[in-house]
Amino acid sequence: MANPIQNRSRYDADVRARRLAVVVREVATAERFETLADLVEAVKTRAARLRLPWTRDAIDHAIAMVESNRPIVVRARTARPRVPAANVRPSFAAFPSREAAAAWIAELKGRVDFAIRVMR
């Protein structure tokens, strides 16, 4: 026969996870989240207002329960600004002489060196 105390603790953990899953579903329906961290913070806040005990593992489990039915975190696709091709790679006709090509390479090297200095 199974230990009733162990069964009770499993039952309590399952009930807590389901309660948090309801909170996750409510919070996710109320607003849209770009990152998982934003969602977790909103769930923590809502659970604290409702005086529900929570742990990070319990919140992760509740999010997994809800995400098994529908996606929660919607990541917006951001379009990166495109640089016109003329600024990136000039055609060979743009360099009438070897000196013009050397000047363009020197300018490009300066930009790369500047970017490396800024990144450090």
Domain residue limits, the chain: 4-67, 85-119
Residue 44: the pLDDT is 93
**Could you write out the DSSP letters of every residue in 62-104?**
HHHHHHTTS----PPPPPPPPPPHHHHS--GGG--SHHHHHHH
pLDDT 10s digits, 93-115: 666 788 887 888 888 888 888 88
- The CA distance from 95 to 102, in Å, is 9
| Structure tokens that stand for 16 in this block | 């807590």
Q: Is 53 helix (H, G, I), strand (E, B) or coil?
A: coil
Q: What is the pLDDT of residues 11-64, one digit of tens each?
A: 677 788 889 999 999 998 888 888 888 899 999 999 999 999 888 888 888 988
Give the Cα separation of 19 and 2 in Å (integer).
26
